[in-house]
Amino acid sequence: MKQKVTKIGILSSGGDSPGMNAAIRAVVRTGIHHGLEVFGIMRGYSGMVEDDIIKMESRSVANIIQRGGTILKTARCKDFFEYEGRKKAYNNLKKRGINGLVILGGDGSFRGAQIFSSEFDIPCIGLPGTIDKDIAGTDFTIGFDTAVNTAVEAIDKIRDTADAHDRLFVIEVMGRDAGYIALHSGIATGAENILIPERKTVMNDILDSLEEKEKRQKLVNLIVVAEGDEFGGAQEVANVIKKKLPNLEIRVAILGHIQRGGSPTCMDRLLASRMGYHAVECLVEGKHNVFVGIVNNKMHYTPLNEAVKKKQVISQEWMKIVKILST
Ligand code: F6P
């Protein structure tokens, strides 16, 4: 019979994402609502290994729903890759009686949780917190919407100056090896071309269309490139274009870590609150070692050992729309 969960720990791991604080708040307050003791584990799995664990009260999570980053801090922990490190982590939980964990992070963090829960009797629940939206089993991840909106705001500003100078801008957005941020922000800003790792880029087509636009004096062009694109990023794409079309004035903008920060959007706050609440419900109800997702606006639970990176399937409809609307 499964042991009743009475004390739970929450940690954030891997790259931070806006909305993590809203999720921590939801986990702490739902836990307290159920009469559980809740502990915050600092710096991801590192805090578990190094025994940096603090008791959380309802007031510990006051005034954080609107803040980016994570009050628990985050890290990528090497020690947790080793059995010895995980054993140390387990002992630190055990001595406090912590018998349930919520892990806020990406697929790498879920893999750590899966190994940990299979070695030791601590049920783990994952919450998908990453700006990359690259996890199968959920339509959205906590932080993606904010990151896309940050990118859209930045690209809109770039369009103003691109227009003033009649320039071509190649703009790089984050996403690791996934193209979702590029796809969504590119469509929303009316980019002429969107380069993503999941779709083969035919550079000659891009060059042909730029040449054709140059002839008819359409000189303002925005190309949004995902950092994981096959060309190796915006600078490389700009170099290829410059070689073939030397008359074009080209500038490169790499948006970088601004996409990871800032106050979460309403959508991310709602997502984080709903998912955080359900993470604790899972622990209480005995639905263990899954991560919490939302598919078609309904809760969806995927076993941690099935947590995989999601490969984008881009609908032909979207690509057609991008082409028609950017002429
Ligand atoms: O996974 C989130 C992410 O921001 C990716 O989009 C990016 O490739 C990576 O993390 C950057 O990591 P770091 O902050 O360690 O440079």
131 Cα nearest atom in ligand 1? 2
How many other CB atoms are there within 10 angstroms of residue 188's CB atom?
15
Q: Using a 6 Å cutoff on CB, does residue 147 contact ligand 1?
A: no
Residue 2 CA, ligand 1 centroid: distance in Å: 37
Segment 57-63 shows an average pLDDT of: 98
3-17, 28-42, 83-97, 208-222: segment of lowest average pLDDT: 208-222
Q: Residues 16, 52, 79, 132: which is the catalytic one?
A: 132
Q: Is 307:107 a contact under the CB 8 Å cutoff?
A: yes
pLDDT for position 1: 53
174 Cα nearest atom in ligand 1? 6
pLDDT for position 220: 83
Average pLDDT along the chain: 95
Domains of the chain, residue spans:
7-143+264-307, 144-260
Q: In this structure, which residue's CA is closest to atom 2 in ligand 1? A: 15
| 160 assigned to active site | no
Q: In this structure, which residue's CA is closest to atom 14 in ligand 1? A: 15
Find all residues with CB under 8 Å of 208, minimum gap 6, and list them: none
Q: Does residue 18 carry a pLDDT above 70?
A: yes
Q: In this structure, which residue's CA is closest to atom 12 in ligand 1? A: 15
Task: Please tell me the distance from the alpha carbon of residue 264 to that of residue 261, in angstroms, as a whole number.
Answer: 8
Segment 138-149 shows an average pLDDT of: 97
Q: Does residue 138 carry a pLDDT above 90?
A: yes
Q: Does residue 6 carry a pLDDT above 70?
A: yes
How many other CB atoms are there within 10 angstroms of residue 313's CB atom?
7
7-143+264-307 and 144-260 in the same fold: yes
Segment 77-93 shows an average pLDDT of: 96
Q: In this structure, which residue's CA is closest to atom 13 in ligand 1? A: 15
Select from 17, 132, 148, 183 the residue to mutate for testing ligand 1; criterion: most ligand atoms less than 8 Å from CB: 132
76 Cα nearest atom in ligand 1? 15
**Among candidates 178, 101, 80, which has minimal Cα distance to 136?**
178
Residue 69 CA, ligand 1 centroid: distance in Å: 13
Percent of the chain residues topping a pLDDT of 90: 86
Segment 55-83 shows an average pLDDT of: 96
Q: In this structure, which residue's CA is closest to atom 15 in ligand 1? A: 15
**Among candidates 140, 137, 141, which has minimal Cα distance to 129?**
141
Architecture of domain 7-143+264-307: 3-Layer(aba) Sandwich (3.40)
Q: What's the order of all strands across the beta sheet hosting 250-254?
A: 193-195, 221-226, 168-173, 250-254
Segment 159-165 shows an average pLDDT of: 95
Please indicate whether residue 214 or residue 57 has the higher confidence score (pLDDT): 57
Q: Is 132:253 a contact under the CB 8 Å cutoff?
A: no
Q: Using a 6 Å cutoff on CB, does residue 143 contact ligand 1?
A: no
Please provide the CATH number assigned to the domain covering 144-260. Answer: 3.40.50.460
Question: pLDDT tens digit string along 201-259?
Answer: 899 999 999 999 888 887 789 999 999 999 999 999 999 999 999 989 999 999 999 99
Residue 251 CA, ligand 1 centroid: distance in Å: 23
pTM of the model: 0.96
pLDDT band at 262 (very low <50, low <70, confident <90, very high): very high
Residue 284 CA, ligand 1 centroid: distance in Å: 33
Q: Using a 6 Å cutoff on CB, does residue 130 contact ligand 1?
A: yes
pLDDT for position 44: 97
Please indicate whether residue 209 or residue 36 has the higher confidence score (pLDDT): 36
Q: Give per-residue burial for 71-110: e unless 16+ CB within 10 Å, then b.
A: bbbbbbbeebeeeebbebbbebbeeeebbbbbbbbbbebb
Question: pLDDT tens digit string along 273-315?
Answer: 999 999 999 999 999 999 999 999 999 999 999 988 887 777 8
Q: Using a 6 Å cutoff on CB, does residue 176 contact ligand 1?
A: yes
User: What's the Rg (C-alpha) of the chain?
Assistant: 22
Residue 74 CA, ligand 1 centroid: distance in Å: 12
Where on the phi/psi map is residue 98: left (φ > 0), alpha (ψ -120 to 50), or beta? beta
Residue 176 CA, ligand 1 centroid: distance in Å: 6
pLDDT for position 238: 97
172's tokens: 């790089």
pLDDT band at 67 (very low <50, low <70, confident <90, very high): very high
Pairing label, strands 193-195, 168-173: unpaired
Q: Using a 6 Å cutoff on CB, does residue 131 contact ligand 1?
A: yes
